């Protein structure tokens, strides 16, 4: 029969191999990161007509909360009205008469939000702002009716707001988040990027998600991180430990070193539990043997 020390050594050996390999995996998972945010290509490298279109990431930048707009009912509002109480805000910039891209983005956002358990209006807000100063509150109201109907959850109209505004207020907002767009007078349409911006409860930029469809996992993690961990559960905290936002891709990627640390911790807990059970079993056997010997002596 093996001794306790040899048993412990046989269990600890693979665990030590995991720890020894951790630095190698951690180094292999590293890559170049931009220190100051992600920039759009230089103007002279962009196609004709798109010279001033793109996203210049302003991570951690403060969005002016005193900017004034009108909501879909025509009421004067400030951006500050949608922040606070621990709620993150998804900022969507577009225009209501956009023939294709803006509608596709909104539909993609609705589809991703349907997969979330977070409650719109309770856990987070969505603020859609038209960057076309010619658009009206009636246009905003019509777009809101369509999108809220597609979303289909009760009281969603309290959490998703559609705004219009004057040119100077719009410019201040788009510049603060690095959203660049360009008007084409020939088509009377705008060329613009497709993205949503995650904002913290104290109106700072937390991240950007690109495209017209968004991974529900990324969207959930983005909301949890933007809320400064005020929404979500312990599982979200574990995922945020293992997955970090990558501004180069606008997605959450796995951090191998952190995953290995959690795996090592889990291994230690399992081994500790197993050794404790084995130790208790050995003590129980020894007590049983001692009791039997004392019975024979009598």
User: pLDDT tens digit string along 52-63?
Assistant: 789 999 999 999
Q: What would the pLDDT profile of 3-50 be if each residue is shown by its tens digit?
A: 444 434 433 333 333 333 333 233 333 232 233 344 555 544 555 556
Q: Is 75 exposed, middle or buried (0-12, 13-18, 19+ CB in 10 A)?
A: exposed
Whether 220 contacts 80, CB under 8 Å: no
Integer-rounded Cα Rg, in Å, for the chain is 28
Mean pLDDT of all residues in 236-252: 67
- What is the structure's pLDDT at 221? 92
- DSSP letter assigned to residue 156: G
Is the Cα dihedral 254, 258, 262, 263 positive or negative? positive
Q: Mean pLDDT check: name the lowest of 34-43, 77-86, 93-102, 210-219.
A: 34-43
Cβ pair 133, 167 in contact under 8 A: yes
Q: What interhelical angle do 234-242 and 256-297 show, nearest 10?
A: 120
Cα 9 from Cα 3, distance rounded (Å):
10
Task: Give residue 229's pLDDT band: very low, low, confident or very high (50, 70, 90).
Answer: confident
Residue 230 has a pLDDT of 73
Q: How many residues does the chain have?
A: 298
User: 62-82, pLDDT tens digit by residue?
Assistant: 999 999 999 999 999 999 999
pLDDT in tens, 111-165: 999 999 999 999 999 999 999 999 999 999 999 999 999 999 999 999 999 999 9
The conformational region for residue 188 under phi > 0 = left, psi -120 to 50 = alpha, else beta, is left
Question: Could you tell me which residues come within 8 angstroms of residue 195 by beta carbon, excluding any fewer than 6 positions away?
Answer: 55, 179, 208, 209, 210, 211, 250
Name the residue with higher pLDDT: 89 or 244. 89
Note the pLDDT of residue 122. Answer: 93
| Residue entry with tokens 């719009």 | 170
Global confidence as pTM: 0.69
pLDDT 10s digits, 179-209: 999 998 888 899 999 999 999 999 999 999 9
Strand partners, 125: 89
pLDDT at 51 over 80: no
Give the burial string for 212-240 (b: 16+ CB within 10 Å, else e): bebeeebbbbbbbbbbeeebbeeebeebb
Residue 229 Ramachandran class (φ > 0 left, ψ -120 to 50 alpha, else beta): left
* pLDDT value, residue 205: 96
Return the minimum-mean-pLDDT range out of 93-107, 146-160, 220-234, 242-256.
242-256
> Bigger pLDDT: 253 or 34?
253
Q: Report CA 104 to chain centroid distance, whole Å.
A: 20
């Amino acid at each position: 029969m093996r001794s306790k020390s040899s048993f412990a050594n046989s269990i600890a050996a693979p665990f030590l191999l995991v720890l020894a390999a951790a630095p190698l995996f951690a180094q292999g998972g590293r890559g170049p990161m931009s220190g100051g945010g992600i920039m759009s290509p230089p103007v002279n490298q962009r196609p004709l007509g798109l010279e001033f279109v793109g996203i210049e990431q302003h991570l951690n930048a403060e969005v002016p909360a005193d900017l004034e707009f009108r909501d879909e009912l025509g009421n004067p509002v400030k951006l500050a009205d949608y922040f606070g109480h621990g709620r993150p805000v998804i900022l969507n910039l577009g225009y209501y008469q956009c023939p294709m891209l803006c509608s596709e983005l909104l539909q993609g956002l609705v589809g991703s939000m349907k997969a979330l358990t977070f409650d719109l209006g309770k856990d987070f807000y969505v603020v859609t702002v038209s960057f076309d100063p010619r658009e009206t509150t009636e246009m905003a109201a019509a777009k809101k009716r369509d999108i809220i109907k597609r979303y289909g959850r009760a009281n969603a109209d309290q959490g998703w707001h559609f705004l219009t505004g004057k040119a100077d207020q719009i410019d201040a907002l788009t510049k603060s988040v690095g959203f660049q767009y360009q008007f084409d007078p020939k088509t009377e349409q705008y060329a613009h990027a497709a993205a949503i911006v995650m904002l913290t409860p104290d109106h700072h930029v937390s991240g950007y998600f690109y495209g017209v469809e968004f991974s529900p996992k990324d969207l959930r993690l983005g909301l949890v991180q933007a809320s400064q961990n005020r929404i979500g559960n312990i599982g979200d905290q574990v995922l945020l430990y293992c997955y970090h936002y990558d501004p180069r891709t606008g997605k959450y990627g796995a951090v191998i070193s952190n995953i290995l640390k959690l795996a090592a911790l889990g291994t230690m807990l399992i081994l500790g539990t197993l050794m404790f059970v084995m130790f208790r079993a050995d003590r129980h056997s020894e007590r049983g043997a001692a009791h039997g010997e004392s019975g024979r002596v009598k």
